[in-house]
Amino acid sequence: MLERIKDMWRAYPKLLIGGVIGCLLLFGVGFYFINQQIDQNNSTNAELFTTSKTISKRDQQVAISNKKNNMSEKQENLNSYVDIKGAVKRPGVYKIQKNYRLESLIALAHGPTKNADLNQVNLAQVLVDQMVIYIPKKNEKIPVQFNSVNMTEKSETAASNQEKSIINLNTANQEDLLTLTGVGPSKAAAILQYRQEHGQFNNIDELKEVSGIGEKTFDKIKDVISV
């Protein structure tokens, strides 16, 4: 075999040299293209990994932000603000949680004063947002605008509501208001807007300050509304 190769080398030296060079060139070109393909694949994979990592990080940030917003909204929904006045040591506006009782609010206001008359109020009353509570002194009647905290008055109002389907202006929604004689969608919306801008109604006469509610409309519904 070796002698045969030697004979061919003597007879065709240029042809053999050209063949070897051609093979080397072919191998070099093939090796170059294979490396290019590998580099391209690695680059594509790296880009996909980076993009995936960026998207994953962005999704995590969005999820964290949404979670914080949901927690903040949930916490905000749990809290209400109530104004307590009268015979307590520290009257003022207090932030309370849902289903808070009047007894707990009085304790939050550092307790009643020595001359407070707690017999006139319902200590078990559940408080709602924007409510105004008045604690009377002994031998003092609760002012008319604060009668909603009077235990007897509240009981009578509840009974009356059951008998006459009385609408509470401070808790009624648009559907409830539309059941009132002479109150259409525009007047119901005006009542809700007034309550949103000015807070709860102190008495039913305040309803006449709402745009569109005149004396005639008020006279028709005054016996079936309350605060």
| Residue-wise pLDDT tens digits, 17-58 | 666 676 677 766 666 667 666 666 666 665 655 655 555 666
With cut-offs at 50, 70 and 90, classify the pLDDT of residue 154: very low
pLDDT at position 161, please? 45
What pLDDT is recorded for position 50? 60
DSSP one-letter code for 93: E
pLDDT higher than threshold 60 for residue 203: yes
pLDDT value of position 93: 93
Question: What pLDDT does 107 receive?
Answer: 94
Hey, what are 143's tokens? 């002012």
What residues are paired with 137 via a beta bridge?
116
Q: Do 144 and 205 meet the contact criterion of CB atoms below 8 Å apart?
A: no
Question: For the residues of 1-35, what is the DSSP string, one character each?
Answer: -HHHHHHHHHH-HHHHHHHHHHHHHHHHHHHHHHH
Query: Residue 151: helix, strand or coil by DSSP?
Result: helix
CATH number for 165-227 (one of 2.40.50.140, 3.50.50.60, 1.10.150.320, 3.40.710.10): it is 1.10.150.320
User: From CA 188, how far away is CA 196, in angstroms rounded?
Assistant: 12
Residue whose pair of structure tokens reads 């002994």 in the numeric block: 138
Query: 78-147: what fold?
Result: Ubiquitin-like (UB roll) (3.10.20)
Given this model, what pLDDT does residue 84 score? Answer: 92
Question: Which band of pLDDT confidence, cut at 50, 70 and 90, is reported for residue 135?
Answer: very high
In the numeric block, which tokens belong to residue 77?
Answer: 């929904």
**CA distance linking residue 117 with residue 151, whole number of Å:** 12
Q: Are 84 and 135 in contact (CB under 8 A)?
A: yes
Average pLDDT, the chain: 76
Q: How, if at all, do strands 132-135 and 92-97 pair?
A: unpaired
Given a cut of 50, whether residue 83 has pLDDT beyond it is yes
pLDDT of 164 strictly over 80? no
Residues of the chain with CATH 1.10.150.320: 165-227
